[in-house]
Amino acid sequence: MERFSVVYRVFADTENEASQRAEAISLEQTVEIPRDVVPSGYIEDVILGQIEHISYETEGQFIVTMSYSPDSVGSELPQLLNVIFGNSSIQRGLKVLSLDLGTELAKRFRGAKFGISGVRKRSNRLTGGLISAVIKPQGSSADDLARISYRCALAGVDIIKDDHGLTNQHMAPFKERCEKICAAVREANSKTGGSTLYFPNIAGHSNDVNHFAQFAKNTGAGGVLIMPGLFGFDAINRLARSDDFNLPIMSHPSFLGPYVLSGDTGFTHGMMFGVLQRLAGADISIFPNVGGRFGFSAAECRSIAEQCVVSDGIGKTIFPSPGGGMTVDRAQEMKKMYGNDVVYLLGGTLLRYSEKIGEGIKEMRQALDQDA
């Protein structure tokens, strides 16, 4: 059975130290016992992680490729993540760079159900970047949020998503909010002939995810927003795999920052917001845009977008969705940076248009559609 591989950046002073750390990873991520007591046969030959390659990167840094057996994983995403970076994530000086599922695990983890092509078909935006309006702020009533959504849909916005801070608070409870916004978007679409999709933010406890997602589907939502940093990547994966749930999934980065912000631990930006999102089954991956308030660099943002759309990645290609600091004035800059397969998030800047919020959406559409 073909093994799958994970590439790590190991921080070590010498190649010998890097080799020792690599052997420790092989044990920690699989059998978690001393090397001298690993049983011979199947456990040693198959289950134990294997060091495939060690190479010098730069002073104090080495690249280590490890391979693992699909038998260590089974078919559950939490265990795959556990093998990739479980106990080793608690150690300093170790960063995950890339993942190759191999043919066997690629059959078990098929990625996004819709991907770029499926979301384009549902939104009827067959070419060019998509625009997503973010409805907010927290504290607004469901009626107020529905009115904002109605104006956005009338203006032809492709997606309307809840702000991630809108959950199940008494000001705009999930079900009331979902019902009223779905009705508003449906009315606007009927008037314009448009195909605006509404993505409510899934709320509640972890055992409420499926219930609220099915409620959203039955109410007429066009997709759902999920925060894997809070609900777990498996919350996305379960819905993406479900035959009963057949809507696109947008992933929000809340609570994921610590996984990428350290230079010597965690994951690269492309791994966290590109590879792992595709692995879980997200169709759209939101991440903080360069020039916004979160400090991601242009190179980090490009790496995310590249991992979302690279053709030989996990499953279908998915939409990168940069947010924060997104304005009409930056549309051409962002288009040049990200290309056409992108969902642009517009939140606080749209609210400055107040009652004329639709004009902001139309201006962004015109800016994206014009040639540079």
Q: Where are the domains of the chain?
A: 4-108, 115-369
Write down the residue that tokens 């840094």 correspond to: 61
The pLDDT, as a whole number, for residue 294 is: 84
Q: Are strands 197-199 and 94-100 parallel, antiparallel or unpaired?
A: unpaired
Block means of pLDDT (10 residues each) for the chain, length 372 residues?
96 98 98 97 98 98 98 97 97 97 97 98 97 96 98 98 97 98 98 98 94 98 98 98 96 97 96 98 97 89 98 97 89 93 92 89 93 63
**CATH number attached to the domain at 115-369:** 3.20.20.110
Task: Look at residue 70 and give its three-state secondary structure.
Answer: helix
How far, in Å, CA of 267 to CA of 98, rounded?
9
How far, in Å, CA of 4 to CA of 9, rounded?
17
Which residues are CB-contacts of 296 (< 8 A; sequence separation ≥ 6)? 269, 287, 288, 289, 290
The pLDDT, as a whole number, for residue 354 is: 86
The pLDDT, as a whole number, for residue 295 is: 84
Amino acid at site 80: L
How far, in Å, CA of 99 to CA of 67, rounded?
10
**CATH number attached to the domain at 4-108:** 3.30.70.150
Q: How many C-beta atoms surround the C-beta of residue 297 within 10 A?
A: 11
The pLDDT, as a whole number, for residue 351 is: 83
The pLDDT, as a whole number, for residue 371 is: 75
Which residues are CB-contacts of 174 (< 8 A; sequence separation ≥ 6)? 167, 168, 200, 201, 203, 204, 212, 215
The pLDDT, as a whole number, for residue 292 is: 78
Q: Is the peptide bond before 137 cis (omega within 30 degrees of 0)?
A: yes
Alpha-carbon dihedral 273, 279, 281, 287, rounded to 10 degrees: 0
Contact between 135 and 167 under an 8 Å Cβ cutoff? The reply is no
Structure tokens at 301: 């943002």
Beta-strand ranges (E) seen in 44-196 are 50-58, 61-68, 94-100, 130-135, 159-162
The pLDDT, as a whole number, for residue 55 is: 98
pTM for this entry: 0.97
Q: Give the distance from CA 55 to its chain's centroid.
A: 30
Instruction: Return the closest-CA partner of residue 158 out of 187, 124, 117.
Output: 124
Angle at the Cα of 123 (from 117 to 125), degrees rounded to 5? 70
